[in-house]
Structure 1
Amino acid sequence: MVTQFAKRTLRGSKISIRRVMTQALNSPESLHNPYFNQAKGQKDIWTLINETAAAAAAENSRPVVNLGQGFFSYAPPEFARSAVDNALEKAQFNQYAPARGNPNLLKSVAEQYAQAYGRPVDSSQVQIATGANEGMFSVFFGFLTPGDEVIVFQPFFDQYIPNIEMCGAKVKYVQLKYPQKLDKENVTGDDWVIDWEGLVENISSKTKIIVLNSPHNPIGKIFTEDELHRIGELAIKHNLIVLSDEVYENLFYTKTFPRPAALASLPELAERTLTVGSAGKSFAATGWRVGWVQGPASLIKYVTAAHVRICFSSPAPLQQAVADAIIEARKNNYFEKTIDDYVKKYKLFTSVFDELGLPYTIAQGGYFLLVNFSKLKIPHDYEFPEDFLSRGTDDFKIAYWLIKEIGVVAIPPTEFLHPDFRKAHGTSTCLRFAVCKDDSILQDAVERLKLLKNYL
């Protein structure tokens, strides 16, 4: 039973801490996370790209169009901002929130999932976190002990890996297979197929968690009901937890958004699924750092135990604001309107790639676009800085050239792969763009990108 598996978690966490401290006394160098050591001497991707963008803007005396990192260029909706003002006016919402979360927010989130799942969801099945990332780390810290293994599909959101490895666990990578036809034509998330043989082979007696991300960053894929069912059957067979990162849950462009915790064909999967959500992604407020984890109360209590040790509680006034904003969003159809807005944003932005004949993955959800630049001809004598050359993949060189010569910022997607897979992977000639920007910014990017016709 999952509950039996979970019971050993608190004891395991203490053992994990004790081992780390023992290692520290023997050798301070052992405190370094192995994942960080792989990038020793290199800047992280976000620092590298943003510093390059800032330097290019200064050099050309013209702002660049930053479609790299997934932050919004516009403010949260007025009703959400008003909710913050109202919360700040009340004394109780400016003090520590309960470690589990503001009761009003717990209730709002529970009601939101009850509506999405079509079944009752209680507040005891929700833990508020300081952003979705901390929520996921609380899951890892709450359930993993040294020697455990976690299945992660790649490409992956880069924060997963150090979060897992800092718990002493090992990541086992399973491919979302790059569709070769993306080299020449548009594809959808359905064309990115799971390596089912690799998934089965990587499950062992040490495996504890399978991590899903749907809608997926950076692909834009939404996992189908059939895919989730097959994954769920494996999770049940091997007594695993499914950690479903659904931070883009309110941005899907398919008819339905399948969730592992709500599969009609496999209802028992809900008993071992922990779902992660994000107010920052839902309300264009990534700086608010309010997220949550939803799942069975028997599992959530271990997430709570970890969360208390990581940060104790999350920003109190913003929790109350999100609680009110969720209620108001259901009344004014905010999420439905936002989906319509993003369909238009994608249509605006992809028009330039259609014109240039550069293929991309048509996003089924989220706010990223993965574009293939293999047709791009950068001059052979173009000079690249060592920080980009040392990465060893073409996408870093394409990203640098695009920033310096076109003035548009994007992210090299090989950063979302294990280093052993980067050079040979199809994404090594792709770039990831974030479309969570004002239409005027996207239009500016479109006009600049039209200059690429001289280099194809």
Structure 2
Amino acid sequence: MELANRVSSLTPSTTLEITAKAKALKDAGHDVIGLGAGEPDFNTPQHIIEAAVKAMNEGQTKYTPSGGLVALKDAIIEKFKKDQNLTYAGNEIIVCVGAKHALYTLFQVILNQGDEVIIPTPYWVSYPEFVKLAEGTPVLVEGKEANDFKITPEQFKAAITPKTKAVVINSPSNPTGMIYTAEELKALGEIALEHNILIVSDEIYEKLVYGDNVHVSIATLSPELKKQTIIINGVSKSHSMTGWRIGYAAGDSTIIKAMTNLASHSTSNPTSISQYAAIAAYTGPQEPVHEMKKAFEERLNKIYEQLMEIPGFQCVKPQGAFYLFPNASEAARLAGYDDVDSLVKALLDEEKVAIIPGSGFGAPENVRLSYATSLDLLEKAVARIKRFMENKIK
């Protein structure tokens, strides 16, 4: 049977080949170190697990409202007030099956065929695919490495056409770990307001910010920008709850209502037990969040310095999230490879280190290394990469 065009237009994930090969090598008994993880290596905090068990024991295992439990929406509302001094009503929030589902559903309800969405590169791999699945057109704008991978107002303005419907801002960014400042966001926001472009602000890594850097939501900069912005967030990264699948969107009530109606016909509702766990995540102690952030920052500071000693690797130091995104084009050249993807494959074959090629993020000269694993494994991996390069350029 012939498949639908919307499926055949999807771009296969470039990470799958590396991930599958790493697993196969590991299953065959090889000592493979994988640095591709997009999730914290810490377990979900115990008080959250206990809240889920309590909910199950009390029979909270039935359908919930499609847009999420009122109690969870209330916890999210309080979180916005406390963290960002933003005020939302219950009808301005939808709880989804992860932040990914929130983004997918959002593009389904705002895009018509041919509508354009501006997506800065490097980008998280699913943004363009969500847009294509909604019959929209992704418009990729290069965030240059010299500008910390961030797009400028001039670039944003030049990419706008009469078909532009939305722009995606991911700060802190996956894969780069970079953060837009308040001034940068204000400049982009003014252009979005001028052209009536919806701002999709993906803030899933907001709690993982290091040093003197701060996370700023564009919605906090003015009432007009708040009205023009849909915030996407969730508990996956902040509370190490990736498998629980709880994310949410906050913003214009008309858009949120449309998303809720669509969700009622697709997922029915987010998992009831996970919602009670998410309530505990936001209303319970936050010490585990701070401890996890501290551990990530310590790893970053140690591994960054070691990575910079490897021939051919150049890296802008990340400000948040848990990824390093070095430029490896010179390393590929020095090692005798035509491109970075070939370098990545050889590194896995010869040194059993799995990293993700930047081509999957719209940045073919770079690679993504996750430091969401133990410091011991990180140091071993970097030592192997260094040995690989030194052997190649002897």
TM-score between the two structures when normalised by the length of structure 2: 0.91
Out of 310, 321, 332, the position equivalent to 1:356 is: 310
Contact 1:129 1:290 survives alignment (8 Å)? yes
Out of 112, 121, 130, the position equivalent to 1:163 is: 130
Q: Does 1:368 align with 2:320?
A: no
Q: Does 1:347 align with 2:316?
A: no
* % same residue: 25
Question: Higher Cα Rg: structure 1 or 2?
Answer: 1
Out of 57, 69, 93, the position equivalent to 1:89 is: 57
Specify the alignment match of 2:344 in structure 1: 399
- C-alpha separation in 2, matches of 1:73 and 1:342: 10
CA-CA distance at 1:274 after TM superposition = 0.5
In the comparison of the two structures, how many residue pairs are matched?
389
Residues 1:304 and 1:78: Cα distance change in structure 2 (over 3 Å): same
Specify the alignment match of 1:31 in structure 2: 5
Secondary structure of 1:428 counterpart: coil
* 1:311-326 equivalences in 2 (<5 Å): 311-326=267-282
- C-alpha separation in 1, matches of 2:42 and 2:129: 30
CA-CA distance at 1:258 after TM superposition = 1.1
- C-alpha separation in 1, matches of 2:297 and 2:317: 11
Secondary structure of 1:128 counterpart: strand
- C-alpha separation in 2, matches of 1:89 and 1:145: 45
Q: Higher helix proportion, which one?
A: 1
Specify the alignment match of 1:435 in structure 2: 371
* 1:237-256 equivalences in 2 (<5 Å): 237-253=194-210, 254-256=212-214
* 1:132-147 equivalences in 2 (<5 Å): 132-147=99-114
Letter in 1 for 2:368: R
- C-alpha separation in 2, matches of 1:368 and 1:409: 14
Q: Structure 2 unaligned segments of length 5 or more: list them.
A: none
Letter in 1 for 2:256: I
Out of 75, 79, 84, the position equivalent to 2:47 is: 79
Out of 251, 267, 282, the position equivalent to 2:238 is: 282
* 1:180-219 equivalences in 2 (<5 Å): 191-219=148-176
Residues 1:329 and 1:295: Cα distance change in structure 2 (over 3 Å): farther
TM-score between the two structures when normalised by the length of structure 1: 0.80
- C-alpha separation in 2, matches of 1:338 and 1:365: 13
- C-alpha separation in 2, matches of 1:29 and 1:105: 38
300-309 vs 442-451, which moves further: 442-451
Specify the alignment match of 1:455 in structure 2: 392
Letter in 1 for 2:249: V
* 1:41-190 equivalences in 2 (<5 Å): 44-58=13-27, 61-91=29-59, 93-179=60-146
105-114 vs 72-81, which moves further: 72-81
Secondary structure of 2:237 counterpart: helix
- C-alpha separation in 2, matches of 1:369 and 1:329: 29
User: Which string of whole-angstrom CA distances, capped at 9 and with x for unpartnered residues, describes residues 414-454 of structure 1?
Assistant: 1112xxxxxxxxx4332101111133332332343342333
Contact 2:310 2:385 survives alignment (8 Å)? no
- C-alpha separation in 2, matches of 1:250 and 1:193: 20
- C-alpha separation in 2, matches of 1:111 and 1:70: 27
Secondary structure of 1:375 counterpart: helix
- C-alpha separation in 2, matches of 1:246 and 1:214: 6
CA-CA distance at 1:32 after TM superposition = 3.9
Contact 1:80 1:283 survives alignment (8 Å)? no
Residues 1:442 and 1:84: Cα distance change in structure 2 (over 3 Å): farther
Secondary structure of 2:75 counterpart: helix
Contact 2:122 2:149 survives alignment (8 Å)? no
Out of 192, 200, 209, the position equivalent to 1:235 is: 192
Letter in 2 for 1:368: Y
- C-alpha separation in 2, matches of 1:429 and 1:355: 18
Secondary structure of 2:66 counterpart: coil
User: Which string of whole-angstrom CA distances, capped at 9 and with x for unpartnered residues, describes residues 350-391 of structure 1?
Assistant: 2321333532121111111012332356765x8xxxxxxxxx
Letter in 1 for 2:272: A
Residues 1:199 and 1:443: Cα distance change in structure 2 (over 3 Å): same
Q: Structure 1 unaligned segments of length 5 or more: list them.
A: 1-26, 180-189, 383-392, 418-426
Specify the alignment match of 2:215 in structure 1: 257
Letter in 2 for 1:315: T
Contact 2:14 2:359 survives alignment (8 Å)? no
Specify the alignment match of 1:337 in structure 2: 291
Q: Does 1:294 align with 2:250?
A: yes
Secondary structure of 2:123 counterpart: coil
- C-alpha separation in 2, matches of 1:193 and 1:379: 29
Contact 1:83 1:325 survives alignment (8 Å)? no
- C-alpha separation in 2, matches of 1:355 and 1:204: 44
